[in-house]
Amino acid sequence: MNNKGILLIISGPSGAGKGTVVNELMKDSEKYCLSVSVTTRKPRPGEEEGVSYYFRSEKEFKKMAENGELLEYALFCGNFYGTPIKYVEKRLAEGKNVILEIEVQGAIQVKEKYPDAVLIFLTPETIQDLEDRLRGRNTESEEVMALRLRRAREEVKLINKYDYIVINDLVRNASKRINSIVDTEKYASARNKDFPKNFLTKKGVE
C-alpha cells in the first residue's frame, strides 16, 4: 500500500476540545505532525510563539497572504488565522500525516486545493456541553464567548462539508475514533491507484 501522508483537517466550534484531542493524537509523534498556524490574535497566558501559533501583526499577516505563503486563511471572530504552506507540503512529501486544526472557512479552502484531505468535524454532543466547556476553560470574556457561541451555531450548519463527525465525549474515545478513520483512509482504493501496476510488476511498496 502507498506511504503517502494524509492531510487531516480537524474543525469544530470553539470549546469543542480540538486542542485537547489534538494533543492526545500528537502523543503518537511517529504517526502525526501538527501544522502551527499564524494568527493576529493576542497570545493567551501560557501560549508560546512558534508552538501554539506564530503571533503576527495584521500587516505582517496580510503580507504573508499576498506572498502566497499561506495554504488557506480566514477571519474568525475579529482575528486572522492561516496555515503556512511550506511546512504542510514538506511533511506530506515525507509521508507524514499532517494535522491542521482550523475553522470551517479554511477547511473548505483546503478541500478545494487538496480533494484528498480528510475533513473531521469534532464536537460535543450538544451546544450546552459546548458552552459548559468554553466557560470551564475560562479564557474568554463574556463578550468573546457570546460571539464564539453564535459562531458555533453557524459552523454546525456547514457540517455536510465534512467527511466525518466525531463526538468528543471523552478525549480518549474521540482520539481513538480519529485514529481509526486515518487507519481506514490509508486503505481507500482511491489512495492506492498504483496498486495494480505494482502488483503486476512485483514492486509492492510496504
Per CB under 6 A, residues contacting ligand ADP are 12, 14-20, 133, 136-137, 168-171
Contacted by 20, from ligand ADP, ligand 5GP, none: CB < 5 to 8 Å by type: ligand ADP
Of 18 and 91, the one with the shorter C-beta distance to ligand 5GP is 18
Contacted by 62, from ligand 5GP, ligand ADP, none: CB < 5 to 8 Å by type: none
State the CB neighbour count (10 A cutoff) for residue 78: 9
d(CA 142, CA 18): 21
Kindly state the helix (H) or strand (E) to which residue 76 belongs, with its residue range.
strand 70-76
Task: Among 4, 41, 137, 186, indicate the residue that binds ligand 5GP (CB under 6 A).
Answer: 41
Contacted by 170, from ligand 5GP, ligand ADP, none: CB < 5 to 8 Å by type: ligand ADP
Q: Which residues pair with 122 in a beta bridge?
A: 166
8 A C-beta contact, residue 173 and residue 57: no
Of 76 and 177, the one with the shorter C-beta distance to ligand 5GP is 76
Question: What is the Cα Rg of the chain in Å?
Answer: 18
